[in-house]
Structure 1
Amino acid sequence: MTRTDRLYALVEELRAVAPRPRSARWLADRFGVSSRTIERDLSALQQSGVPIWAEPGRTGGYCLDTTHTLAPLGFTVDEALAVMVALGTLAESPFRDSATSALRKIVAVTDDRSLRETADLASRIHLLGDEKPAEAPSGLAAALHTGQVLRISYTDRDGGTTERDVEPMGFVGKGDNWYLIAWCRLRDGLRAFRGDRIADAEPLTERAPRRTLRAEDLGIVEGRLRAIGPGQDPA
């Protein structure tokens, strides 16, 4: 069994018995390696974002939080390539950290042959963009998930900088640029904030009220706006 296969199997073993723990010694016997090797494997999985934690004590061991993981998807090479390309397009977006973590997880559970084939195909694909823009503050994407009001420092197109509290409502991507769509309390209206012009984004303890975001409210006059998600036409 290769290390990649073992990492995949470790996750599935812990998923099968969750929330009960498995000890490193039990897992070592199961996979025919040393306890130290298992501990290194589990550490690698943890660092890649897989929600595994250790329970201390004589009956303790390693547990997997199944509520924060997906069952194995069994990607074909073409599917894995499509996911890899899609994640690569997010390298300059507010979702870059999550995209990097997701890519590590895909690599961790892909068998060696398929991974080599996918990597070879991916090496032939390049993304053409403008000069690399400045990165948006890390954690900006989490605002949609947490629902918290953000206090941002924003520089407009004329170079003027303001500090304002905004209620995040969504994102719009265009080329290399990503825009935070939010209700601006300073202007008392809907605004689009370009990610690379947001110098700082501090989440406040206040949760934003629920507002409905409609495509027509964005006032987009150029291009075609399309949604992303299950059931949406990717074309």
Structure 2
Amino acid sequence: MAERASERLLRLLGMVAYLDGRSGVPVEAVAEQFGVSAEQVMSDIDTLWVTGTPGYFPHDLIDFDADSYEQGVVRLTESRGLTRPLRLGTREAVALVAALRAMQSALAPGLDPERASVLASVLSKLTAATGEAAAAVDVQLTVDGAPQVVAALGAALQQRRRLRIRYVDASDTTTERDVDPVRLVTGDERSYLLAWCLRADGERLFRVDRIVEAQVLEVGVQDHVVEDDADRFRPDPRGELVTLHLRSRARWVAESTPVESVRNHGDGSFEVDLRVTQPAWLRHLVLQVAEDVLAVSPQRVAREVAQTARAALSAYGPLAAGEPG
């Protein structure tokens, strides 16, 4: 899956902090630390090497020891101040307190005791350091979805009980399944239930606003091995491989959609490969960026999208042809 720019930025910043103060770290060790390949580490170092503060002359840039680099060892020689502890202003501290309180109110029931304790400790210390400004903050994180569904999810998480849900997926297909809830996840302006689906025998993400009904069962949840990044959507590898060739202004597709790979072209356009299990979702995506689509493969997908567009236009009747109503 292609990496988002925000994810790479976090790793680049973390890499500077990790390397600071160390005499030199083999590329393989850096790769293991950040969970990427050695090739990706070398690419990251090349990017950091031309990054710095305004002026952007050689003495303004983050720097590494070139001799060590040639030997497969990364040694940071100039961090440009990126490793200095950050001081939060009042506004920043209040925003962080608000975010932590929202997390605690909505997500704490699904956290294990260790993580819940860390969250409570950080919130307590930050609130004390912020002072009176934090006292005025009253935030509640609203989980999108039917109230009775949200209540059932919260009860199941707190009581560690199994759930029976009716779920409508992106293709408007309704299924009923039993799941062992793991935790609530928020992201991309949506709320999700991360759960172990007994029907699929694996972890799954369910959009809360697509859960039509939720019933707390008397059965307790079982312990399941859930990957650390399970709360990140990953396309089904069995899905059809579709390639979109898009103009540069549709770059948001590569940034916000789970794609397998991205190939950039010299004219600024790019190609993305996607695994698709829901054709309706793909048609919706392509119609969103229709003006920026240069090619679609396989061609059958392009024909299906065109047919959908024509059907939508015909539904408008005379309005589609510009005739007065």
Structure 1 length-normalised TM: 0.40
Structure 2 length-normalised TM: 0.30
| Higher RCO by CA contacts (8 Å cutoff, separation 6 or greater) | 1
Instruction: Give 1 or 2 for the bigger CA radius of gyration.
Output: 2
The answer to which structure has the higher helix fraction is: 2
